[in-house]
Amino acid sequence: MLARNVQLIVIAICFLLSSCNKKPTSGLGGVVDLSTSLPISKTISVCWNNLAPTQLSCKTDLENALIREFGEKTTLQLSFNSTCDGTANVEIQYQRVKHVNSRIETSGRIYSLMEIICGDFSTAEAAEIRSQCRSAEEAKICNINIGLHEFGHAIGLSHEDLRPESPTGSEVYGDDKLVILNKFDHKSIMHFGYYRNIVGTKVVELTEGDIEAINKLYDQDLKIPRTECTKPYRFDDTSGLCFIGPTNGQ
């Protein structure tokens, strides 16, 4: 009888606190740059540009990570080709100095070019990348983490650090092209400072907020309730979007 009463008390506490059998979250996130075109298809084709034989292991590791994180956890469907024929949505190319992502429009075609480092990070432009990616195992983790972060850019997400809540601050705060999709997420894979601090220590995963942001972006559902868009953010009554900072000096 006593055990039964204890069980009932636990159930009551769980109900009141809504905390039992509930997965912990790391917060929510998502920043989109409207200066580029919104995606129109959830099918993302990826190709590897000028892949050298010595880069095959990097390709395999990153491809598996992209499938695990973006292909299985979001509503996106990924397809991969070992060579590029000018039709892919994302082209991945390995280089030696830094990782960059460019949105390119040519002959009516818009695609993203990911340039990332494979294997040897000793020539990396960023000091924190060089210091964390020295051993073979660290380099393997760095290849995956940097690739996941840059792929987030390639499919339309911006840095989480661009938000005023970020402890690292933002040089472009007030940009009238940046829209938030939900609450600030300090562990987002798109958080520049966080991911750089752990880039060579453990493989990162999409947070709950990253997944929600990607799904909302590809559903073209960028609106959030006005009550969730408070200063210093600016709510646009016409579009229902929440912008980082004012527009036209307002």
> Identity (one letter) of the amino acid at 206?
L
Reduced to 3 states (helix: H, G, I; strand: E, B; else coil), residue 88 is coil
Within 8 A by CB and 6+ apart from 164, the residues are 170, 173, 232, 244, 245
Q: What residues does CATH 3.40.390.10 cover in the chain? A: 40-127+140-155
pLDDT digits 0-9 by tens, 13-44: 232 333 333 333 334 568 887 766 666 789 99
Query: Can you give the pLDDT at residue 108?
Result: 64
Can you name the residues that pair with 210 across neighbouring β-strands? none
Reduced to 3 states (helix: H, G, I; strand: E, B; else coil), residue 157 is strand
Closest CA to 69 of 167, 214, 179: 214
Q: Which two tokens stand for residue 209?
A: 């907020």
Strand order in the sheet with 178-180: 31-33, 178-180, 242-243, 234-235
Structure-token match 């992502």, residue found: 101
Q: Which residue has the higher pLDDT, 175 or 115?
A: 115
Q: Which residue has the higher pLDDT, 86 or 12?
A: 86
Q: For 101-127, give one letter per residue: b (16+ CB within 10 A) or e.
A: beeeeeeeeebbbbbbbbbebeebebe
In the chain, the percentage of residues whose pLDDT exceeds 90 is 24
State how far the Cα of 74 lies from the Cα of 129, in Å rounded to an integer. Answer: 28
pTM of the shown model: 0.81
SS3 sequence of 123-149: CCCCHHHHHHCCCHHHHHHHHHHHHHH
Query: Can you give the pLDDT at residue 98?
Result: 65
Q: Which residue has the higher pLDDT, 51 or 102?
A: 51
Query: Can you give the pLDDT at residue 20?
Result: 35
pLDDT digits 0-9 by tens, 208-243: 999 999 999 999 888 888 888 888 888 999 989 998
Query: Can you give the pLDDT at residue 81?
Result: 92
What's the chain's average pLDDT? 78
Query: Can you give the pLDDT at residue 66?
Result: 96
Q: Dihedral (C-alpha) 32, 37, 38, 42: value to the nearest 10 degrees? A: -120
Q: Which helix (H) or strand (E) holds 17?
A: helix 2-17
CB 239 within 8 A of CB 177: no
What is the mean predicted confidence (pLDDT) over 46-60? 90
Is CATH 3.40.50.2000 correct for 40-127+140-155?
no
Structure-token match 């395999």, residue found: 60
What is the mean predicted confidence (pLDDT) over 179-201? 80
